[in-house]
Structure 1
């Protein structure tokens, strides 16, 4: 059957809040035009899938019939041919090599780093001190991912370079990916900053990889796992460039998601005192004042519900796929080579899947209510064979950090300073100012 055509083009550029809201309003409105809607992405025709059931087909049941789309092609200079951008047989082989690095036993070992880093950060807070929350969460995410990846002295240098460069890459990366290709060749300040940051990160990561090759010691970090990995069929290891590409993928994919979720979680807890009280009560009961461990993550049931709700409300704007051959989705046959879009933000705010979708409601993730969420309606880390390989690492990091903070502190909004939003691949708080207030607990519990 003919594909409905959306009125207007998908708005791309612009960083102000009104521009951001117009993007979101446009993509969320597409469900009113059909399950699959033709939209022009700039000058490129695309097909937007708005029905969660069809998104599940796109990502899972018919996932092998698609590869990453045009958006990911533009990210090749950033990620190289890592898991986020590679396709086909090469991607499957790389995934089988990288996956053991994120086994539950490995993540359990990294939990100590997560808890210590969160405790170190909050130990610098002072009662009544105003914190720029997104700066704290960004710094923390860099520390955790960096220390999980690199454990050598050279690795410490790499972490400092990541701290310096990663948010320049995130700031300019999406704009660059969505702009016409000639824009990246213009002598603009943003282009110069982006190119320099990418080159600095590439150089230091390759230096660390070469240093590890010379030393050859398994240090138990993610880099050692990548360098020691062997293809299950051929027995071959990764080249230096392949390792570099996977490290860049883990850095960029692993830092923004957790920094974003943690910052918005602090904001939402402050806006919802009853949710905050329940988080404090659960943390007090489960931890009893001690440092959280990996075994505690599943016991922090309500904290996990809060994390799910934050991931629902603040996901990426959209992602893309490309059809390898004619593919039937619902009543539509997509032609070979078709560029396909799905919007996690639109899916997560669909009232057909989530009652009152713009209300922050961790209770919607209770077992009874969560079981009613349709497949494909909640995709914070994607799904199928392209699901983010580090999703358990990210979830664990967010839960451990929230529990560590909540055990000792409350963060209260600064009056008269409303939250501003900037845009990378998702809505990001900018100058989220909050006052650190020590928790007063009686007998280890909140009064």
Structure 2
């Protein structure tokens, strides 16, 4: 079966809104050429899947025949060999050891941290105060993930370093991953800042790990779970380097997704007063003025639809896989080592899966309508054996943080200050200025 070739290369770098629109237009337009389209990622040929059925096949049905692709090879030297970047037996072993840290009982305990951190943030607000909401969302995400990971005094130092460095690492890391290898060796300020931030984070995480080894106590945090974990098959634990790599994975994966989702949620609530009113009414009814708990999350039915809609509208741009052996997708044979690519953003905005895909509509996640969404069409956390291990943590965090804010405050856009968008792996709001108005 012949595979059509896309006209032109996939545009990679650039951080302006026009370039963002160009890239999204390009990946969205590929569905016009068929279910599988050959494109050039820079100078590398790849095969782009536009059909959600094939994405489900890639991630779930035939997931064992694929490993992470070229993009993740570029991440591995500076983020380590954690769950996001490891493959094969290493990945299966690490997932068995990390999974218990995200059991529902553990997340119920972390939910207390989530609610307290959100309440502490909003306690600092003053009526009529203008807030940079993207900065508040980033700070809150760092606090929650940091305190869930580290609960010791040494851990507090780590949290401050993470707060200082993580978003520089996230943004520049994607630029580096999408750039030719020689670029990272150039004497550029961005390279120096990135290398220094990675070195600082690596050093403080390893210091915390070594400090824990000397102490040996279970502090009830994620780090304790990682250090106490043993492989069911071998009885072996993780080395300091393995723990470091998993911590970096949790920081990178856990902070960016929730920070962006929180910021965009408040942006969309302000743009849709009818949605905002329904969220406020539900929060008032379920919480009755008390802080939210893990048990409350499933009762916040409409708020969860809002969160799903935000995750649909603002996902990562694209992800890659590489074939481990000859395999067929949609009747098309691929040789071992073939790079395959798909775009959550394009899938989430496909009108064949989502009517009026650019309209913010939380009710599309009502049970009846959600049941009609094709498999593979909604993949904010991936799917199959490589689905994000912290997806329930992230969804709980977003719901509890939004409910905590919504119980007391409305965030209203500042007139004449439109939000700007910058882009790396996902869309970042910039200049999301909103006025804090007490609800009661």
Q: Same fold (TM over 0.5)?
A: yes
Alignment partner, residue 274 of structure 2: 274
1:330 aligns with 330
Aligned to 1:17: 17
Aligned residue number for residue 94 of structure 2: 94
Could you report, residue by residue, the CA deviation over 1:36-94 in whole angstroms, capped at 9, with x for unpaired residues?
A: 11000000000001100000000000000000000000001232000000000110000
CA distance in 1, matches of 2:90, 2:419: 43
Instruction: Identify the residue that residue 68 of structure 2 maps to in structure 1.
Output: 68
Secondary structure of residue in 2 paired with 1:231:
coil
1:59 correspondence with 2:59: yes
Following TM superposition, by how much is the alpha carbon of 1:2 offset from its aligned partner in structure 2, in angstroms? 1.1
| Cα RMSD for the two superposed structures | 0.5
Tell me how far 1:30 sits from its aligned partner: 0.5
Q: Distance in 2 between matches of 1:338 and 1:108?
A: 42
Helix, strand or coil: the match of 2:95? Answer: helix
Equivalent-residue separation in structure 1 for 2:219 and 2:424 (angstroms): 34
Whether the 8 Å CA contact 1:227–1:243 is kept in 2: the answer is yes
Residue matched to 2:223: 223
What is the aligned partner in structure 1 of residue 253 from structure 2? Answer: 253
Structure 1 residue ranges without an equivalent (≥5): 441-447
Alignment of structure 1 residues 192-341 onto 2, 5 Å = 192-341=192-341
Alpha-carbon distance, 1:423 to partner: 1.1
Please name the residue that 1:376 is paired with. Answer: 376
Question: Any gaps of 5 or more consecutive residues in structure 2?
Answer: none
SS of residue paired to 1:275: helix
Give, in whole Å, the separation in 2 of the partners of 1:157 and 1:81.
24
Q: For residues 66-145 of structure 1, what are the structure 2 equivalents within 5 Å? A: 66-145=66-145
1:444 is aligned to: none
Q: How many aligned residue pairs are there?
A: 440
In the alignment, the residues of structure 1 paired with residue 138 and residue 12 of structure 2 have an alpha-carbon distance, to the nearest angstrom, of 25
What SS does structure 1 have at the residue aligned with 2:223?
helix
8 Å Cα contact 1:79-1:246 kept in structure 2:
no
SS in 1 for 2:128: coil
CA distance in 2, matches of 1:179, 1:332: 30
Q: Give deviations 1:158-177, integer Å, cap 9, x for gaps.
A: 00000000011012111100
* C-alpha contact (below 8 Å) 1:408/1:439 kept by paired residues: yes
Measure, in 1, the Cα distance between the counterparts of 2:365 and 2:55: 21
> Corresponding residue for 2:429?
429
1:201-248 Cα deviation digits (max 9, x unpaired): 000000000000000000000000000000110000000000000000
Question: How far apart, in 1, do the equivalents of 2:98 and 2:215 lie?
Answer: 21
Look up the SS of the partner of 1:434 in the other structure.
strand
Task: Write the distance in 2 (CA, Å) between the matches of 1:303 and 1:88.
Answer: 37
Distance 1:160 1:149 in 2: 13
TM-score after normalising by structure 2: 1.00
Q: Counterparts of 1:430 and 1:65 in 2: how far apart (Å)?
A: 39
Q: Answer yes or no: is the 8 Å Cα contact 1:78–1:248 preserved in 2.
A: no
Displacement of 1:326 in angstroms is 1.4
Quote the offset at 1:331 in angstroms.
Answer: 2.5
Question: Match of 1:166?
Answer: 166
The 3-state SS of whatever aligns with 1:75 is helix
1:87-145 alpha-carbon deviations (Å, 9 max, x no partner): 00110000000000000000000000000000000000100000000000000000000
